[in-house]
A and B are shown apart, each in its own frame.
Chain A
Amino acid sequence: MHSKYIISFIICLLMFTAVFAEKHTDNEATEGKEFQPVDMIMSHITDSNEWHLWTTTDEEGHEHHVSIPLPIIIWDGEFKAFLSSKIAHGHTHRGYTMVDGVLTATDGTDKATIVDLFSGLEGKYVDLSITKNTTAMFISILLLLLIFITMAKSYKKNKLKPRGIAAFLEPIVVFIREEVAIPNIGENKTDKYLPYLLTVFFFIWFNNLLGLLPTFPGGANVTGNIAVTLVLALCTMVIVNLNGNKHYWKEIFTPDVPILMYPIMIPVEIIGIFTKPFALMIRLFANITAGHIIVLSLIGMIFIFKSAFVSVGAIPMTLFVLLLELLVAALQAYIFTVLSALFIGLAVKEHH
């Protein structure tokens, strides 16, 4: 019954692709254009303002790009919103264009960063576009909601024995609770932090897996985007420091060392508050991005050597790395959750 919803969701996504995908033609002939492996890899692992699907080259050497246009939302004194297909391939619309899939202002003004919020937004534009990564996040959020609401509802019907998707995911939920949360946080405080740990685990895991798909609706490098991992790590940092008990703060400001050591130990402990989430952020970002780069480099080998025979070696290697990435996808989600639980546990556990 519920699998029907999931199948229709996927069909809807595919229809979305079919309806909105637009074709653009580059006017420059691409005859004799060298294959640029770094450009290819960077365009796959970075964010962009359109969801590129595929490129074909016709007999005259013109490239046809098929991509899903995404909404562009800009605030630069006035509010501008339009689809990225209007600025694709050199077209200019209301002072903006797209260079290699990334929004750029034609008059050379810079994109505002978070620092500019404090120093003033003069002469900069605020980019609030729904980019490829944002779209991919929406898709994974929809998928998570669909799966977990279905799972929660199925417990109403089968109170004792889980069925369907619930039977598949219940062991994972139980594993996170019994093996990750309880040993680190302690029996009586686990239930307060378990929702966060489960959310983080499944969000990272689903996004890692969707990132391994070659094309729409996956293929965006969400967990390999440092902004996404920054926010996830920031969530852990906020939870740890807001819930830290007396013992946690005592360890930082009056550590159990001779008084003479305080000028060294207190700064080290204060830096430690920030390095823990920083390590979480860098670990997830670097692992996922590195995995994508390895897969793309192995595929790129075929085009670098311009020989089909290279694929005899490259394809099995890619398959091997992709299978390894399936493990890494789960492992990185697990490590992020375990370390979050560990840091939360260190901050809230009772000491006697």
Chain B
Amino acid sequence: MDGVGLIYVGIGLVVIGVGLGIGRIGGQAMDAIARQPEASGKIQSAMLIAAGLIEGVGLFAIALGGFIK
């Protein structure tokens, strides 16, 4: 049995982690906006930056998975 299939399992695990992370960021941002609606602009841009950084990890995994055959 070669380990190539495991790479895709690994990518799946990474994507699950990224999904959980971005979901948490989104949820917490919602909470924060509900608490302080007047700061929604700042919260949104901070949320997008954090989500962008985490999304990078998931795309890393997917892109690397595409290279490893």
Partner-B contacts on A (CB < 8 A): 179, 278-280, 282-283, 285-287, 331, 334-335, 338-339, 342
Partner-A contacts on B (CB < 8 A): 41, 45, 48-49, 52-53, 55-57, 59-60, 62-63
User: Which A residues lie within 8 Å of B49 (CB)?
Assistant: 335, 338-339, 342
Interface of chain A: mostly helix, strand, loop or mixed: helix
User: Which A residues lie within 8 Å of B63 (CB)?
Assistant: 282, 285-286
B48 adjacent to A282 (CB under 8 Å) = no
> Contacts A279-B57, A279-B59, A283-B55 given; 16 further ones with Cβ under 8 A?
A279-B56, A279-B60, A280-B56, A282-B56, A282-B60, A283-B52, A283-B59, A285-B63, A287-B59, A331-B48, A334-B48, A335-B52, A338-B45, A338-B48, A338-B49, A339-B52
- State how many angstroms separate the Cβ of A225 from the closest Cβ of chain B: 14
User: Which B residues lie within 8 Å of A334 (CB)?
Assistant: 48
User: Which A residues lie within 8 Å of B57 (CB)?
Assistant: 279
**Residue contacts A-B, CB under 8 angstroms, 13 given:** A279-B53, A279-B57, A279-B60, A282-B56, A283-B59, A286-B59, A331-B48, A334-B48, A335-B49, A335-B52, A338-B48, A339-B49, A339-B53
B62 adjacent to A286 (CB under 8 Å) = yes
- State how many angstroms separate the Cβ of B68 from the closest Cβ of chain A: 15
Interface of chain B: mostly helix, strand, loop or mixed: helix
- State how many angstroms separate the Cβ of B57 from the closest Cβ of chain A: 8
User: Which A residues lie within 8 Å of B56 (CB)?
Assistant: 279-280, 282-283
Q: Complex: how many Å from CA A279 to CA B51?
A: 13
Q: Complex: how many Å from CA A279 to CA B53?
A: 8
Which 4 pairs of residues, A with B, have the shortest CB-CB distance?
A279-B56, A335-B52, A286-B59, A282-B59
- State how many angstroms separate the Cβ of A136 from the closest Cβ of chain B: 23
User: Which B residues lie within 8 Å of A280 (CB)?
Assistant: 56
Which partner residue on chain B sits nearest A338 by CB separation?
A: B49
Which partner residue on chain A sits nearest B62 by CB separation?
A: A286
Q: Complex: how many Å from CA A287 to CA B58?
A: 11
A335 adjacent to B48 (CB under 8 Å) = yes
B60 adjacent to A338 (CB under 8 Å) = no
- State how many angstroms separate the Cβ of B49 from the closest Cβ of chain A: 6
Which partner residue on chain A sits nearest B56 by CB separation?
A: A279
User: Which A residues lie within 8 Å of B53 (CB)?
Assistant: 279, 339
Q: Complex: how many Å from CA A325 to CA B41?
A: 22
Q: Complex: how many Å from CA A334 to CA B47?
A: 13
Q: Complex: how many Å from CA A338 to CA B53?
A: 11
User: Which A residues lie within 8 Å of B60 (CB)?
Assistant: 278-279, 282
